[in-house]
Amino acid sequence: MNTAPTPWMRLSCAVALVAALAACGNRDGASAERSILERATLQDGGPDEFQVIPRAPLIIPPSLSATLPLPQAGAPSRIDRNSDDAVREIFVRAASTAEEPNAGTSPGEQIFLAMLPSASQTANIRALVTADDDAIVREEAQTLTQVLFGRSIFNPYAAQILNPPFELFRLRDSYPNAITPSFDPELATNDE
């Protein structure tokens, strides 16, 4: 029996090696595209919602001699003047609703709440939605990458992912007269 590799075996090994090297791709940032391996295994963490807002550097005030008001013990809150009353009301309402379910609502509010369709809905709606979502993902995710790599590149929420630079310019165009402190227009028009 001949155990020497045949030309077809050598060719198939060479093709497999080239495909494996092509899937690795480069990680130095020179290419904006993700490699085949990254697309097949979904290595990215998803969009960053906070990239939509420009991050301007902190600005030092022109005068550091300005004195800030010091907080005083026992002084009322300057932001929320009725904060103690609001907290007290929350605890009183929680105690009264624990004894009697509808004690904190008026008769008109009770009638309105009874008319809402959400009162008759199931309590475990999140579990039902998650189960339906998992069923859809299982149906549509049986692709070649699922079989080969154990992971799917099917993303049911791809249409909902924001493009941060596009969203930033869309918001700026929506509010052309909005004042943005410390915003440099040259940075927005610069392609780099």
Domain ranges of the chain: 83-121, 123-176
Q: What percent of the chain has pLDDT over 70?
A: 42
Mean pLDDT for the chain?
70
In single-letter form, the type of residue at position 185 comes to P
Least confident of 33-37, 53-57, 163-167: 33-37
Q: Is the pLDDT of residue 17 over 80?
A: yes
Instruction: Confirm if 169 and 54 have CB atoms less than 8 A apart.
Output: no
Q: Is the pLDDT of residue 33 over 70?
A: no
Q: Can you give the pLDDT at residue 161?
A: 79
CA distance 86 to 1: 90
CA distance 94 to 106: 15
**Which of 116, 89, 85, 84 is closest to 104 using CA atoms?**
89
Task: Supply the pTM of this predicted model.
Answer: 0.20
